Amino acid sequence: MRFRHRAAAGFATLLLPLAGLVGLASPAQAATTATATYAKTSDWGTGFGGQWTVKNTGTTSISSWTVEWDYPSGTSVTSAWDADVTSAGTHWTAKNKSYNGTLAPGASVSFGFNGAGSGSPSNCAVNGASCDGGTTTPGDSAPSAPGTPTASGITDTSVKLSWSAATDDNGVKNYDVLRDGKVVSTVTTTSYTDTGLTAGSDYSYTVQARDTANQTGPVSGAVAVHTTGGTTTPPTTGSKVKLGYFTEWGIYGRNYQVKNLVTSGSAAKITHINYAFGNVTNGQCAIGDAYADYQKTFTADTSVSGVADTWDQPLAGNFNQLRELKAKYPNLKILWSFGGWTWSGGFAQAAANPTAFADSCYNLVKDPRWADVFDGIDIDWEYPNACGLSCDTSGSAAFKNLMAALRAKFGSSALVTAATTADGSTGGKIDATDYAGASQYVNWYNVMSYDFFGAWATTGPTAPHSPLTSYSGIPTAGFDTADAMAKFRAQGVPASKLLIGIGFYGRGWTGVTQDAPGGTATGAATGTYEQGIEDYKVLKTSCPVTGTVAGTAYAHCGTNWWSYDTPSTIAGKMSWAKTQGLGGAFFWEFSGDTSDGELVSAINSGLN
């Protein structure tokens, strides 16, 4: 498989809304009324994650900001995002990007970075003045995270919450109580009774401390609460895995939000979500798109909870929307997926030190700001010890070593999964890697049984991109789902750890004259986001099915020829998966489905 839909189409889409944001930072403004607070967000021994938050505490807007601080010798910033960070010796300076320099009164903005060493910042200044808003006293530290709340006295409409106190160098002033990521009360004690709830409903509570300088610390762990009473019970989805990918960039041009999982009915019919993608760079897991992940605020009409985000809430972005989704569907599990076609090249460096890689991933996934959102990690290393967008020579044991390190770090209770090739050809990508040896460390493999054929072969022959079985005239032997699954099982991977993959899109050619597969073409058919690719929700009406081959559908309309799965072919594939004893199914990705989620419904019905 030469291309992957999720990287080829998706990553290009991700870049579009950010392209206009790149530019030079504005010059530093003279001393204004502002504060800057620092927090260490993670620590993996050899390095750490840090974050500064700048807040406009004055009455007029700030057009730019500059934060300066000193690190002791041996401590440094290695990479940063949402600010331009430079150094002169042990003195560090961070200037705003072109898109985040303006702060209205009361507004705040954060930038993050990875660092090396163990020192703490000192002599902090923001726009030339002390970071705590004074003129001579260096900025003090933010408070620690309070203890995870415990719930008691749960009734139809109320719950009492209690937590252990946070600590702060200058004293804790009060605590914000958050329900489903939104502040519902600020109290001076370490307990609170929340009232006015809905009977038989699910809620998630966290707490954060505020110090005497009004700085907020990291959010505590979350406690889930289900109020008594009510007439409904959470939906059951059966014993098979039903997993869908949600792309961070889909919220831009595609305008597919987490809320669409609710309005389409899909959230009630799946068991797991893979959030795609985190980056893999410098041998570490890293943020893919900070704005989409945890900074973007959502309006009431685009928010899962129906309540608008506020500028000062501890967590925004898709992560908070996923938190709200889990509050509505407490049985739903969410994994953070790292890599993908475009970022799989970063795994070579990660494989050189699996333990350090696993530590970095754990600290990022379990960051206190969003630790309650994720139930595990998915590794999307698409061509280990093989060639893809680049060529990897890590060796056949590298993938196994990486998965072993992740399991050791995340523990037995977390989900650790991986997306894998479906190249079942002799001497192909499955043969290049010890997937059987690695299978003891994973909960399951997402076998990418799609993208076998496409218009990268410009003149054809036309062929279905996701054949279930081989067929007469297939361009490459072994490029089908059944052969891939058979090869995994022959290698020693249990069938119960294999998920069949479904693409919610089609691949197509133009310049085609014949209906049946095997025709010649002149190039890729036109697609909305990328040549040769189109969503199912478009194709079902723009180019209806002509026939089926090898368990999937194809369509010839005008001079275009497309192949894609439909509710009918998905039903057949789910039936086959059950007879093979597979662990379930997954799909790429939600936004290709209809507004009422008919492909998700087909997967759900087919596996029940």
Query: What tens digit of pLDDT does each residue of 62-100 get?
Result: 999 999 998 888 889 988 989 999 999 889 999 999 889
Q: Residue 27 pLDDT more than 90? A: no
Q: Which two tokens stand for residue 117?
A: 């060493």
Angstrom distances, CA of residue 48 to CA of 13, 112, 338, 351, 357: 31, 11, 19, 20, 13
Residue 59 belongs to what domain range?
34-130
Query: Last residue of a domain, which of 99, 130, 161?
Result: 130
Domain contains 258 = yes
Pair 561, 533: CB distance under 8 Å = no
Q: Are residues 218 and 248 in the same domain?
A: no
pLDDT at residue number 489: 94
Arithmetic mean of pLDDT, 225-233? 63
CA 86 to chain centre: 29
Q: Residue 10 pLDDT more than 60? A: no
pTM value is 0.66
Q: What is the pLDDT of residues 304-333, one digit of tens each?
A: 999 999 988 999 999 999 999 999 999 999
Q: Are residues 123 and 208 in the same domain?
A: no
Q: Residue 234 pLDDT more than 50? A: no
Pair 245, 587: CB distance under 8 Å = yes
Q: What percent of the chain has pLDDT over 70?
A: 91
Pair 285, 240: CB distance under 8 Å = no
Domain contains 533 = no
Domain contains 298 = yes
Arithmetic mean of pLDDT, 30-54? 76
Q: Are residues 247 and 101 in the same domain?
A: no
Domain contains 435 = yes
pLDDT at residue number 57: 86
Q: Are residues 429 and 453 in the same domain?
A: yes
pLDDT at residue number 45: 67
Total domains, the chain: 3
Domain contains 248 = yes
Q: What is the pLDDT of residues 105-137, one digit of tens each?
A: 888 899 999 888 877 788 888 888 878 764 433
Q: Are residues 209 and 301 in the same domain?
A: no
Q: Residue 4 pLDDT more than 70? A: no
Domain contains 93 = yes
Q: What is the pLDDT of residues 510-548, one digit of tens each?
A: 999 999 999 999 999 999 999 999 999 999 999 999 999
Q: Give the span between the Cα atoms of 103 and 105, in whole angstroms.
A: 7
Q: What is the CATH number of the domain that holds 269?
A: 3.20.20.80
Q: Give the span between the Cα atoms of 608 and 600, in whole angstroms.
A: 12
Q: What is the pLDDT of residues 156-206, one digit of tens each?
A: 889 999 999 999 888 899 999 988 777 889 999 999 999 988 877 778 888
Domain contains 270 = yes
Q: Are residues 160 and 246 in the same domain?
A: no
Closest alpha carbon to 509 in 532, 540, 475:
532
Average pLDDT of every residue of the chain: 88
pLDDT at residue number 447: 98
Query: Last residue of a domain, which of 179, 196, 226?
Result: 226
pLDDT at residue number 22: 30
Q: Indicate left, alpha or beta for 364 from its phi (over 0: left) and psi (-120 to 50: alpha).
A: alpha
- Per annotation, catalytic residue among 68, 382, 534, 589: 382
Q: Are residues 365 and 478 in the same domain?
A: yes
DSSP 280-325: EETTEEE-S-HIIIII----GGGSTTSS---TT-S--HHHHHHHHH
Q: Are residues 388 and 455 in the same domain?
A: yes
Q: Are residues 377 and 306 in the same domain?
A: yes
Query: Last residue of a domain, which of 102, 130, 158?
Result: 130
More confident residue, 199 or 376: 376
Q: Are residues 197 and 250 in the same domain?
A: no
Of 134-138, 341-345, 432-436, 601-605, the poorest mean pLDDT is in 134-138
Q: What is the CATH number of the domain that holds 214?
A: 2.60.40.10
382 catalytic residue (yes or no):
yes
Pair 549, 464: CB distance under 8 Å = yes
Q: Are residues 112 and 219 in the same domain?
A: no
Q: Are residues 298 and 199 in the same domain?
A: no
Q: What is the CATH number of the domain that holds 96?
A: 2.60.40.290
Domain contains 561 = no
Arithmetic mean of pLDDT, 413-423? 96
